[in-house]
């Protein structure tokens, strides 16, 4: 509420992300509900109560749009990797519950979690370990400290957004390492000693439909643990043998239905003192490589068959050569016949064009897909479209002043071998004159299948109506 007051609600929703952690799952569940009884809010001003809360039964609930800026999650300060890139970290009355040794490790984690210039606030009854130089006091009375960017932690820590057991380094090496992991072209993720997923790069999230919220979840709760293969057995083997294990050419269908072939590699990750700190899992898409191998194998088999057939082919070629001479003679005869038929076709087309041109009615010929095959001069004069402009166009897509949609059913009847009655339609010509059309239908000769016909003729006559 204080941040929203200072920044404004809209800027708060846009700029602020609050991570609230605890080791108690019940406490987290209660916090997520964000419900409060009136006595818990008695110190909240009426103005803030109205601005940030809504009535809920006998109490109040925090407004949902602001609640979304708070992310709740379980985190063991001693065992779990810290959240990184934090600007302000509150750990009030927390360190007092740990031994000095554990406190030192937690303070190192805090140092690593905070950005340069980040602020740490602890409880009034707490103090940082006396030997720690990782933080400088800002307000010692209120236990406010600022991160010392020049200090070096005394031991290694893990982080959830990159590979485990890296040494913190303010020079940017950790950020560079994280970016390299995140944008690697190979799908990768990392699990810790407890088989929790602590890092998933962009390629793996895209391929397996994983989300950033899956970081921190047990591997067995995720589909990728058993599909495309049983990863847990490979991970157990890699841990036990402390050596890389792999599985080759695993077939898998992506959520979008694409078929992939993957090589899976599981590698133990060793930290200081040869300590096993986690396991890295990589997926290499070998779909193209496998396809090329299969093509190469097919090509080899085909080449072998071709070589065996070559000798017999040579013998056949000799025979074929003799047959070709005879065939050439036949082709010359066929070519002469084709020339004659071509001439006949040209004459027939010329005759058809003349017939269509001499008809006083508008004539349109369509094929079985209702695409225009022929269009006479009267159609051009009536609608202003030349035959070469409409040939191949769909009849029902033409904008010619005629409600062509009304022609669909009668034309379909004719194409199916059924007679269709003439229809009378209102329309206009290319000049906008209102006309009444009478359209008659006739099939083209020559059946295709059963009662189907290869096309239909539309004969149109018109008269002015206005």
Per-block average pLDDT, block size 10, for the chain (466 residues)? 93 91 89 93 93 93 92 82 84 88 85 89 85 83 87 44 41 64 86 90 88 88 90 91 90 83 90 80 88 87 86 80 83 85 70 70 93 92 91 92 92 92 93 93 71 85 86
| Rounded CA separation 164/112 (Å) | 13
Rg (CA), the chain: 41
* SS3 state at 48: helix
| Rounded CA separation 287/293 (Å) | 10
* Cα separation values, 59 from 32, 55, 92, Å: 15, 6, 27
How many helices (H) and strands (E) are present in the chain, helices listed first?
13, 19
- Contact at 8 Å (CB) between 208 and 187? yes
The CA-based angle 57-59-62, given to 5 degrees, is 105
Q: Is 173-285's fold the same as 358-464's? A: yes
The number of residues making up the chain comes to: 466
| Rounded CA separation 321/199 (Å) | 70
- Is 358-464 a CATH 3.40.50.970 domain? no
Q: Considering the domain 2-147 in this protein, what is its CATH number?
A: 3.40.50.150
Q: For residue 441, what are the β-bridge partners?
A: 458
| Rounded CA separation 60/54 (Å) | 5
Q: Which helix (H) or strand (E) holds 439?
A: strand 434-443
Token pair for residue 283? Answer: 């997926």
Residue by residue, DSSP assigns 198-231 as EEE-HHHHHHHT--GGGTTSBGGGSGGGTSSS-H
- Is 173-285 a CATH 3.30.450.20 domain? yes
Token pair for residue 274? Answer: 């040869």
Taking residue 438's Cβ as centre, other Cβ atoms within 10 Å add up to 14
Q: Which helix (H) or strand (E) holds 410?
A: helix 408-415
Cα atoms in the 13 Å half-sphere on the side-chain side of 357 = 8
What pLDDT, on the 0 to 100 scale, is given for residue 131?
59
What pLDDT, on the 0 to 100 scale, is given for residue 84?
77
| Rounded CA separation 429/339 (Å) | 42
Spans of all domains in the chain? 2-147, 173-285, 294-320, 358-464
Residue 368 burial (10 A CB sphere; 0-12, 13-18, 19+): middle
DSSP-derived pairing of the beta strands 276-285 and 187-192: antiparallel
| Rounded CA separation 233/220 (Å) | 11
What pLDDT, on the 0 to 100 scale, is given for residue 164?
41
Cα atoms in the 13 Å half-sphere on the side-chain side of 91 = 25
- Contact at 8 Å (CB) between 456 and 363? no
Taking residue 149's Cβ as centre, other Cβ atoms within 10 Å add up to 14
* SS3 state at 366: strand
DSSP-derived pairing of the beta strands 114-122 and 86-91: parallel
Residue 371 burial (10 A CB sphere; 0-12, 13-18, 19+): middle
């Amino acid at each position: 509420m204080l941040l929203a007051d200072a920044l404004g609600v809209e800027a708060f929703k846009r700029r602020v992300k609050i991570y609230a952690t605890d080791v108690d799952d019940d406490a987290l569940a209660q916090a997520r509900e964000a419900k409060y009884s009136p006595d818990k809010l008695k110190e909240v001003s009426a103005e803030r109560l109205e601005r940030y809360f809504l009535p809920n039964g006998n109490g109040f609930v925090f407004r949902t749009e602001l609640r979304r800026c708070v992310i709740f999650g379980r985190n063991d300060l001693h065992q779990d990797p810290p959240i990184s890139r934090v600007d302000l970290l509150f750990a009030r009355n927390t360190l007092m519950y740990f031994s000095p040794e554990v406190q030192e490790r937690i303070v190192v984690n805090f140092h690593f979690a905070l950005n340069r210039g980040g602020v740490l606030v602890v409880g009034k009854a707490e103090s940082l370990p006396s030997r720690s130089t990782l933080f400088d006091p800002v307000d010692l009375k209120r236990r406010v400290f600022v991160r010392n960017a020049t200090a070096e932690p005394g031991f290694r820590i893990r982080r959830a957004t990159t590979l485990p057991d890296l040494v913190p380094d303010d020079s940017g090496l950790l950020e560079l390492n994280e970016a390299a992991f995140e944008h690697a072209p190979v799908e990768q993720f990392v699990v810790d000693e407890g088989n929790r997923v602590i890092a998933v790069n962009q390629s793996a999230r895209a391929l397996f439909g994983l989300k950033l919220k899956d970081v921190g979840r047990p591997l067995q709760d995720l589909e990728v643990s058993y599909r495309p293969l049983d990863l847990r057995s490979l991970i157990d083997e890699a841990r036990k043998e402390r050596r890389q294990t792999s599985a080759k050419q695993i077939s898998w269908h992506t959520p979008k239905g694409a078929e992939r072939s993957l090589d899976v590699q599981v590698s133990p990750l060793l930290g200081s003192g040869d300590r096993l700190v986690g396991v890295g899992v990589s997926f290499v898409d070998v779909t193209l490589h496998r396809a090329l191998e299969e093509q190469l194998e097919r090509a080899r088999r085909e080449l072998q068959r071709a070589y065996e057939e070559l000798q017999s082919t040579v013998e056949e070629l000799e025979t074929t050569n003799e047959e070709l001479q005879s065939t050439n003679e036949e082709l010359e005869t066929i070519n002469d016949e084709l020339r004659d038929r071509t001439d006949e076709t040209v004459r027939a087309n010329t005759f058809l064009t003349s017939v269509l041109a001499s008809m006083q009615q508008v004539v349109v010929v369509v094929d079985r897909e209702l695409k225009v095959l022929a269009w006479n001069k009267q159609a051009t004069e009536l609608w202003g479209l030349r035959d070469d402009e409409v040939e191949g166009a769909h009849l029902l897509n033409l904008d010619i002043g005629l409600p062509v949609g009304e022609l669909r059913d009668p034309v379909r009847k004719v194409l199916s071998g059924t007679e269709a009655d003439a229809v009378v339609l209102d329309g206009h010509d290319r000049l906008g004159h209102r006309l009444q059309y009478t359209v008659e239908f006739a099939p083209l000769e020559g059946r295709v299948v059963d009662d189907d016909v290869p096309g239909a003729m539309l004969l149109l006559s018109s008269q002015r109506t206005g």
